[in-house]
Amino acid sequence: MIEPLTVYTLPNCMQCTMTVRALDAANLPYTVIDLTTDTRATDLMHQFGYTTAPVVIARVVSWSGFRPDRIAKITALRNHPTLTSE
């Protein structure tokens, strides 16, 4: 089973909305953190060098912006035997 992704978002952010919709369509689990209400998360994103939202953090990869290619890759790997067996 794939661990939930963490999606750092901003209100009224079109790329954030599109990312969440794509994750929903792919049936990928995720947790949303609003960067306007969590200053620690905002500081952390800046420390990692991210300057735009959304920021998506997965187990071994992270990115910012709407990246349907990355979502598709995670979706394709979701049922990969070496990733799902412990």
pLDDT digits over 52-84, tens only? 999 999 887 899 999 999 999 998 887 665 554
Q: What is the mean pLDDT of the chain?
A: 89
- Tell me, what's the pLDDT at 61? 86
Residue 8: the pLDDT is 97
CB 65 within 8 A of CB 17: no
Q: Are 41 and 57 in contact (CB under 8 A)?
A: no
- The tens digit of pLDDT for each residue in 1-42 reads 567 899 999 999 999 999 999 999 999 999 999 999 999 999
Q: How far is CA 71 from CA 15, 39, 49, 79, in A?
A: 13, 26, 21, 14
In the chain, pLDDT over 90 holds for what percent of residues?
A: 76
Contact 7, 32 (CB under 8 A): yes
- Which among 63, 69, 34, 9 has a CA at the least distance from the CA of 77? 69
